[in-house]
């Protein structure tokens, strides 16, 4: 089973 | 004071159609560099980044950096009132809570202005690091749109795999499975019809098709699309806007639990 990851997991604020 | 005059106003209409399905409200940022936007969809799975460089406008005046919060559905309603050949000018005064869209017909016999209320939007700006991608696929944008649409009638997710054989789009659903392979094809009459695969190493990633389908709303902006893939990064789906900039979509992959 695959889970949807989020953009914020890869890119951080800044 | 902000005044941006775009002779090819239809570009702006197409840009709005390309992003309004994904994002509801967003800040448009205006600086000396250009007119830009970065926003995530409500579930933070996808991100859109738009840049229209200042050099692409016939007239570009932006006295100081300005961020204007807008509901994209409302912007789209306003821009749909512009004719496809109209010149569009975006105007705003410093500190104003409104933005004005002015539409001029090509022979100047009709001039309309539409004033829209701005809104305060809290949005975090994400830093997107430059990355070396394992594979970059360039293909006709219409072909990519067709593949995403066709596969979404079979399944909800797509596995995009790049090998030296080509790029494979696979899905599976209750009624069956589907695989579409596109091979590199540079021997075409026009460069925009080519499929070009630059691969450093094979890569395979899984994505939700509904987001990719939403990205393909940008198809009218460019004849070609580039898809950049790396195993530990969101895919980048880029539509270049001729002489002006780009719309880039980032989509987080589905990962093993």
Q: In chain B, how long is the greatest CA-to-CA distance? A: 61
Rounded to the nearest angstrom, the minimum Cα separation between B47 and chain A is 7
Statement: residue B124 has pLDDT above 90: no
The Cα B95–Cα B42 span in angstroms is 28
- ipTM summary value: 0.97
Q: How are strands ordered across the β-sheet holding B111-117?
A: B59-62, B2-6, B87-92, B98-104, B111-117
3-state secondary structure of B79: helix
B252 interfacial to chain A (CB closer than 8 Å)? yes
Contact B254 A3 (CB under 8 A): yes
Q: Is the pLDDT of residue B76 over 80?
A: yes
Chain B residue at shortest CA distance from A10 = B233
**pLDDT reading at B152 higher than 80:** yes
In chain B, % of residues over pLDDT 70: 100
Model pLDDT for residues B188-235, shown as the tens digit of each residue = 889 899 999 999 999 999 999 999 999 999 999 999 999 999 998 999
Confidence band of A6 (pLDDT split at 50, 70, 90)? very high
B197 Cα distance to chain centroid: 21
Percent of the residues in chain B that have a pLDDT greater than 90, as a whole number: 92
Averaged pLDDT, B42-47: 97
Rounded to a whole number of angstroms, the distance from the CA of A5 to the nearest CA of chain B is 6
For residue B57, give both structure tokens: 């406008």
The chain-wide mean pLDDT, for chain A, equals 92
Nearest CA in chain B to A12: B126
Tell me the pLDDT tens digit for each residue of B228-255.
999 989 999 999 999 899 999 999 999 9
All residues at 6 or more sequence positions from B238 whose CB lies less than 8 Å from its CB, including other chains:
B225, B226, B227, B228, B246, B247, B248, B249
What sign results for the dihedral spanned by CA atoms B21, B23, B27, B32?
negative
- For residue B206, the chain A residue with the least C-alpha distance is A2
On the question of pLDDT at B106 being above 90, the answer is yes
Tell me the pLDDT tens digit for each residue of B130-151. Answer: 999 999 999 999 999 999 999 9
Judge whether residue A14 has pLDDT over 80.
Answer: no
Contacts of B209 in chain A (CB under 8 A): none
The residues near B153 (Cβ < 8 Å, ≥ 6 apart) are none
CB pairs under 8 A between A and B: 57
pLDDT bin (cut points 50, 70, 90) of residue B165 is: confident
Burial class of residue B23, CB neighbours in 10 A (0-12, 13-18, 19+): buried
- The CA distance from B190 to the nearest CA of chain A, in Å, is 35
Distance CA B65, CA B162 (A): 41
Of A2, A10, A14, the CB nearest to B256: A2
Question: What confidence score (pLDDT) does residue B156 get?
Answer: 97
Judged against a pLDDT cut of 90, whether residue B123 lies above it is answered with no
User: Residue B104, CB half-sphere, CA atoms under 13 Å: how many?
Assistant: 11
Task: Give the per-residue pLDDT at B41.
Answer: 96
What does the pLDDT read at residue B75? Answer: 97
> 3-state DSSP call for residue B190?
coil
DSSP single-letter state for residue B94 = T
């Amino acid at each position: 089973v695959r889970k949807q990851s989020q953009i914020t997991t890869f890119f951080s604020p800044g | 004071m902000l005044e941006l005059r775009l002779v090819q106003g239809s570009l702006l209409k197409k840009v709005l159609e390309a992003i309004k399905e994904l994002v509801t409200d967003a800040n448009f940022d205006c600086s000396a560099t250009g007119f830009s936007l970065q926003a995530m969809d409500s579930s933070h799975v996808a991100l859109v980044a738009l840049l229209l460089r200042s050099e692409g406008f016939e007239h570009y005046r932006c006295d100081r950096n300005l961020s204007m919060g807008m509901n994209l559905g409302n912007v789209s309603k306003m821009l749909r009132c512009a004719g496809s050949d109209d010149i569009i000018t975006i105007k705003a005064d410093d500190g104003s809570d409104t933005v004005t869209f002015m539409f001029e017909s090509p022979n100047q016999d009709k001039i309309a202005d539409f004033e829209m209320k701005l809104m305060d939007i809290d949005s975090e700006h994400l830093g997107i690091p430059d990355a070396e991608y394992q594979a970059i696929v360039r293909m006709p944008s219409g072909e990519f749109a067709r593949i995403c649409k066709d596969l979404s009638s079979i399944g909800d997710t797509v596995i995009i795999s790049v090998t030296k054989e080509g790029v494979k789009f696979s899905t599976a659903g209750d009624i069956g499975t589907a695989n579409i392979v596109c091979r590199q094809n540079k021997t075409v009459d026009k460069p925009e019809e080519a499929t070009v695969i630059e691969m450093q190493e094979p890569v395979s990633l899984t994505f939700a098709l509904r987001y990719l389908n939403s990205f393909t709303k940008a198809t009218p902006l460019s004849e070609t699309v580039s898809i950049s893939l790396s195993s530990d990064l969101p895919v980048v789906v880029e539509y270049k806007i001729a002489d002006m900039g780009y719309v880039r979509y980032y989509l987080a992959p589905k990962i093993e639990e």
